[in-house]
Structure 1
Amino acid sequence: MNASSPAAAPPAHPFPYAVVIGRFQPLHHGHQRLIEQALRVARRVIVVVGSDRQPRSVRNPFTLDERERMVRACLHGQAEQMRVSVAGVGDSPYNDQLWIASLQQAVDRLIAQDGADPAHARVALVGHLKDASSYYLRLFPRWEFVPNEAVQSIHATEVRQLYFDPERRGRIPPDALPEGTASFLAQFAESADYAALVEERAFLDDYRDKYRYAGSEFPPIFTTVDAVVVEAGHILLVQRKFQPGRGAWALPGGFVGQNERLLDAAIRELKEETRLKVPVPVLHGSVKGREVFDAPQRSQRGRTITHAFFFELAHNQWTGLTEVRAADDAAQARWVPLAEFLDMRERMYEDHYFIANHFLGGLGKN
């Protein structure tokens, strides 16, 4: 090529693919800027929505479909809509490697659907390293990190605090959020789901005020126990009668008494909530494992560390599953086939699905 020849035009997008990761609970201006940056640097954008298949709570109020609606509402025109794919990935609070693998698989599937080879595709990971909570952006060395400048805007946690405040009834300054998000939140505030979340928020506020240490800057740390009980391919679950998480399914369990050992507390709560017809000495002999679960955000009530015990009961084929009956603060108690349980993530309370799945050998689908 001689000196007078025109230089080749640079490609319209440096990357064929870009990934944006977030919970989008809800989508705010910072999220929108990340997606806009991804659209500038890549031909195709994959928005990975975390905390998929969680029951509604004040921390995770919106479903994957609702968050995809917010994502798509911030896009401009049909061309951008066609360039953006949205994939949901569930949490794995006690196994980062499982979460990483699930996220990589979701992205690889979409790349493969394009007819490209995921192993050789050049992928940008667009994000903002704001604080320790952004550590996940360093967990994907195969992708090239593309930083984005911080945007001065209200954060999702602040939005939820304002939105579910019983006094505000969902009102947020209209310019605080992207138009599509503000419109969605205005509609959602008229729903029964919103009313239930406001009620839960009021309960949690009262709970934290009641149990705050007087005169101390340090909030309390609670200790609880949970029982994972299996028999003949079934797991014993209870349905919660009260807030928080009213109506969700959970492992039998509760708070440790002042004068109790952990296993004794787990058996007491198990018997109180399910009236399980198994003698206490037999339960002691049925313990097959125990583990501590301490994810800082595992409970909305405050920092709560739970000690879980795994009970494997002998099964009598002539009498059937051991009799149970709901009592105490359980609305229902029932034996759930494990195959059914594995599809119950969005109906399980807090991290109880992951606790049970830990003892079940990772059978659950992410």
Structure 2
Amino acid sequence: MQSTKEHRAFLIGRFQPFHLGHLEIVKRILRENDSIIIGIGSAQYSHTTVNPFTAGERHLMISRTLEREHVYNYYLVPIEDVNANSLWVSHVEALAPKFDVVYTNNPLVRRLFTEKHYEVRSLPMVNRSEWTGTKIREKMIKGENWEQNVPEPVVEVIREIDGISRIRQLSTTDEDVP
């Protein structure tokens, strides 16, 4: 008899911005699971050089990308930081649909979910020499080609919100203002 239990995975990230490495990881997770919950971490932060995009903007980046890729078996859940690590998993559980397995390479996230008896799996790092949010944001600030490292819908959202102008302005100091 075949099991009818759905296997749902959980993945958390800041997705500042959602890049091709994230997309590849989502696709790999979905090869092993029926659906995925994508937690948009640090949802309360935006308009800084480290977190330039709002949770809503990141939601758009991810949902438009997955729609274009014909991926529909996902949930997007903004998750604010709680600044109390011992409470964080309970916070996630209160916000997200139930899930069976957590995918992360973050040592703290791994530890917190393991302590709550979740199965935690590692993720392969995909083209980390180019596909990191930090490197992509640096390229945006410097005016270098960043577009090749993110899905086309992400480029469209960033242009729509004038994200390049935002991150460049945020990267300046008061001494840079004429």
Q: In structure 2, what is the Cα distance between the partners aligned to 1:125 and 1:41?
A: 12
Structure 1 77/175 Cα, relative in aligned 2: closer, same or farther at 3 Å?
A: closer
1:162 maps to 2:142: no
Determine which structure has greater relative contact order: mean sequence separation of CA pairs < 8 Å that are 6+ residues apart, divided by chain length: 2
Which residue of structure 2 aligns with residue 38 of structure 1? Answer: 29
Between 156-165 and 18-27, report the one with greater CA deviation.
156-165
Structure 1 100/77 Cα, relative in aligned 2: closer, same or farther at 3 Å?
A: same
Structure 1 71/55 Cα, relative in aligned 2: closer, same or farther at 3 Å?
A: closer
Give 1:22 shift: 0.4
Which residue of structure 1 aligns with residue 88 of structure 2? Answer: 99
Which residue of structure 2 aligns with residue 318 of structure 1? Answer: none
1:85 maps to 2:75: yes
Which one has the bigger helix percentage? Answer: 2
Which residue of structure 2 aligns with residue 200 of structure 1? Answer: 170
TM-score normalised by L of structure 1: 0.42
Q: 5+ residue gaps in structure 2? A: none
Structure 1 184/98 Cα, relative in aligned 2: closer, same or farther at 3 Å?
A: same
Q: Could you list the per-position Cα deviations for residues 271-309 of structure 1 after superposition, in whole angstroms to 9, with x for gaps in the alignment?
A: xxxxxxxxxxxxxxxxxxxxxxxxxxxxxxxxxxxxxxx
Does structure 1 conserve the Cα–Cα contact (< 8 Å) formed by 2:52 and 2:166? no
Secondary structure of the residue that 2:173 maps to in structure 1? Answer: helix
Larger gyration radius, structure 1 or structure 2: 1
Does structure 1 conserve the Cα–Cα contact (< 8 Å) formed by 2:11 and 2:36? yes
Secondary structure of the residue that 1:151 maps to in structure 2? Answer: coil
Q: In structure 1, what is the Cα distance between the partners aligned to 2:49 and 2:69?
A: 33
Q: In structure 2, what is the Cα distance between the partners aligned to 1:15 and 1:145?
A: 17
Query: Which amino acid is 1:136 matched to?
Result: V
Which residue of structure 1 aligns with residue 45 of structure 2? Answer: 54
Which residue of structure 1 aligns with residue 14 of structure 2? Answer: 23
Structure 2 counterparts to residues 189-268 of structure 1, below 5 A: 189=162, 194-203=164-173
CA RMSD of aligned residues (A): 3.0
Q: Could you list the per-position Cα deviations for residues 9-46 of structure 1 after superposition, in whole angstroms to 9, with x for gaps in the alignment?
A: x77x9952110110001111221122112222222211
Q: In structure 2, what is the Cα distance between the partners aligned to 1:80 and 1:143?
A: 25
Q: In structure 2, what is the Cα distance between the partners aligned to 1:33 and 1:87?
A: 19
Structure 1 70/134 Cα, relative in aligned 2: closer, same or farther at 3 Å?
A: farther
Q: 5+ residue gaps in structure 1? A: 1-7, 112-121, 208-241, 243-366
Does structure 2 conserve the Cα–Cα contact (< 8 Å) formed by 1:46 and 1:86? yes
Structure 1 101/158 Cα, relative in aligned 2: closer, same or farther at 3 Å?
A: same
1:138 maps to 2:116: no
Secondary structure of the residue that 1:80 maps to in structure 2? Answer: coil
Give 1:147 shift: 2.4
Give 1:188's match in structure 2, choosing from 158, 161, 177.
161
Which residue of structure 2 aligns with residue 317 of structure 1? Answer: none
Query: Which amino acid is 2:18 matched to?
Result: L
Structure 1 runs of 4+ aligned residues shifted over 6 Å read none
Does structure 1 conserve the Cα–Cα contact (< 8 Å) formed by 2:11 and 2:39? yes
Does structure 2 conserve the Cα–Cα contact (< 8 Å) formed by 1:126 and 1:146? yes
Q: In structure 1, what is the Cα distance between the partners aligned to 2:58 and 2:100?
A: 23
Which residue of structure 2 aligns with residue 150 of structure 1? Answer: 125
Q: In structure 2, what is the Cα distance between the partners aligned to 1:196 and 1:36?
A: 30
